[in-house]
Structure 1
Amino acid sequence: MRFEHFYDVFQKDIQYEALLKPILKYLHPNETLLDAGCGTGYILELLLKKNYQAIGLDVSPFMLSLAYDKLQPLGFTHHLFEHDLKKPIGMQFNQIICLLDVIHYFKGCKKLFLNLYRALKPNGRLIIDLYKEPFDSFESGKVSSLAYTWKVSKQPNGIIHQIDVQNDLDKYHYHLKQYVYPMDYYVGLLQEIGFSIQEFKGFDDRKKYFVCTK
C-alpha cells in the first residue's frame, strides 16, 4: 500500500468545515482560487461544492489520482493539474491557499514564496498555515480497516514522522521528514518578497495562520 492511500484514508476524518470556517472570510467564491498542494483533494472538493472557482495543483500524480476519484462524480476533474511548486506556476489567481503542512515539505521557502507571489494578481491573497515550532507526539488508533501508530520526533529545523500501518494481511512502514524553521524565517521571507501579513486564529493550535496580501 502506497503512503498516499493511507494518507487519504487518515485525512478523511479531519473536520474540513471547521478547518475552513476561519479561512472563508478571506476568500470570495466569484474570484479564481488555487489550492496549491491540494493532495488528495478534500479541501478542493469542499470548496467546489461551495461553488468556489477553484483548481488544485500537486506534485504527486498518485495524490492527484485520489483527488480525481473524489471530483469525478461532481464533474470537476478538469480542475486538477500536476505541478511542482518549486517551478513558476504560469497562471495568476486572486487567491491562493497553501494548507495542511504543504510549506513544511520544502527545505528553504524563498523560491516557493516567490512563485506563489508571482502567481497572484495585484492585491491577491495567499493563505498559509505554519507550525509554531517542532514538536514530539505519538498516537495510535484505527482508521477504516487499518491499525496504525504515528510517532513524530523533533529534529534540528524539522520533524520526523515514523508511521506503522497494519491491515489483516500486511504491515507497512513510512518515514517522512518535514522542515520547521523559526517563525521569523518565514515572516521575514514573505515580507522581503513583498507580502503584507495578517495573522488570524485558525483550526490547529499547533500552528499560526496568515493571510498574505500582494
Structure 2
Amino acid sequence: MIYKGFAEIYDELMKDVPYGQWTDFLHERMKRFGNGGSRILDLGCGTGEISIRLKQKGYAVTGMDISEEMLSVAYQKTAELGLSIQYLQHDMREKSDLNQSFDGVFICCDSLNYLQSKEDVQSTFKASFDQLAEGGLLIFDVHSLYKIHEIFNGATFAGNDEDVSFIWNSFLGDEPGSIEHDLSFFVKRDSFYERFDEFHMQRTYSIDCYKDMIAAAGLELLEISADFSEDQPDEESERIFFTARKNGLLG
C-alpha cells in the first residue's frame, strides 16, 4: 500500500511542498471556470494538507485516499484544528458510494501518476465524471515526461534533519514514462533510529494522451498550464496542470 510505512513522518518530509500554491491554484480555477458551487472531492488527499486548506477557504470538502494510515493522520490534524471534513478510504479508480455530487474533483500532488496504466487513469476520469455535478470541474496535475527522464532518472535525493533522515534514489521503470523510487527513511526514537523502506512507482504520459483520455471521459478540456503558472507547457516544464469541465457550460 502506498505510504504504508511512513505516514507518521510524511508531513515532516514534505514540509517544503507548496501546498498553499496548490490551494490558490485550485481556488482561482473554481472562481474562473466553476459552476458557483463549493462541494469538493479531494482524491488522493493523503494527510489532508490541501483538504484542510480548502476547508479554511470555505469549501465543503470530502477527502478520499486508498491509504488508511494517511487518512488516520488527516483525521487527527483536522480534529486538532476544530474542522469538519469527511474522509473516506477508497480507490480513486472507482465511483464512491457517496450519495452526492461535487462541484470540483481534485487530484493533486501528482497522485494520478501512481496509477500504472492508461486504463486506470481512464477509469479514474470516468469515476470523476460520474461524481461531478453539472458544470463541475476536474483539476489534476501530473509529472511531465521531461521530469521523468531528465530530473528523476538516475537522481539521488537526501535529507538529514534532527529527527528524520532519508535517501531517495530514482531510476527509469520498464514501462514507457515510468519511474521507480527506492526510499529509505531513518526516524529518531529515544535511543535509536528506526528504518523504513518504501518502493514507489509512478507513470506519466504525453499531454496529447491526457487530452484524449479527458475527451473519452466526456469532459471538456478548458486549460492546460505548467508549474503553477498561466503559461502553456514547454519542453522543460516539470508539472502539467489540466482543468476540465463536465458537459460544457461554456462561459
| Fold-level similarity (TM above 0.5) | yes
The yes-or-no answer on 1:191 pairing with 2:205 is no
Q: Match of 2:185?
A: 165
Alignment deviations for residues 56-81 of structure 1 (CA, whole Å, 9 cap, x no partner): 11111111000011100233355211
The yes-or-no answer on 1:209 pairing with 2:241 is yes
Gaps of at least 5 residues in structure 2 are 230-236, 247-251
**CA distance change for structure 1 residues 36 and 144 in 2, over 3 Å: closer, same or farther?**
farther
Q: Which amino acid aligns with 1:149?
A: I
Corresponding residue SS for 1:33: strand
TM-score normalized by the length of structure 2: 0.78
Q: What displacement does 1:171 show?
A: 2.4
Distance 1:208 1:169 in 2: 37
**CA distance change for structure 1 residues 183 and 144 in 2, over 3 Å: closer, same or farther?**
farther
Q: What displacement does 1:94 show?
A: 0.8
Q: Match of 1:117?
A: 129
Distance 1:50 1:182 in 2: 33
TM-score normalized by the length of structure 1: 0.90
Gaps of at least 5 residues in structure 1 are none
Q: Percent identity of the aligned residues?
A: 24
Distance 1:143 1:67 in 2: 23
Q: Match of 1:47?
A: 54
Alignment check: 8 A CA contact 1:149 1:164 kept? yes
Q: Which amino acid aligns with 1:114?
A: K
Q: Match of 1:126?
A: 138
Q: Which moved more, 1:117-126 or 1:148-157?
A: 148-157
Superposition map of 1:127-166 within 5 A: 127-133=139-145, 134-135=148-149, 136=153, 137-143=155-161, 145-155=163-173, 156-157=175-176, 158-166=178-186
Distance 2:161 2:104 in 1: 33
Distance 1:3 1:46 in 2: 22
Superposition map of 1:10-159 within 5 A: 10-28=13-31, 31-90=38-97, 91-108=100-117, 109-133=121-145, 134-135=148-149, 136=153, 137-143=155-161, 145-155=163-173, 156-157=175-176, 158-159=178-179
**CA distance change for structure 1 residues 34 and 184 in 2, over 3 Å: closer, same or farther?**
same
Q: Which moved more, 1:136-145 or 1:125-134?
A: 136-145
Structure (1 or 2) with the larger CA radius of gyration: 2
> Aligned-residue CA RMSD in angstroms?
2.1
Q: What displacement does 1:202 show?
A: 3.4
Alignment check: 8 A CA contact 2:5 2:197 kept? no
Q: What displacement does 1:27 show?
A: 2.1
Alignment check: 8 A CA contact 1:22 1:202 kept? no
Distance 1:159 1:207 in 2: 15
Match of 1:3 among 3, 6, 14: 6
Corresponding residue SS for 1:170: strand
**CA distance change for structure 1 residues 30 and 73 in 2, over 3 Å: closer, same or farther?**
farther
Distance 1:148 1:207 in 2: 24
Distance 2:129 2:195 in 1: 42
Alignment deviations for residues 138-166 of structure 1 (CA, whole Å, 9 cap, x no partner): 21112451111111212233110011112
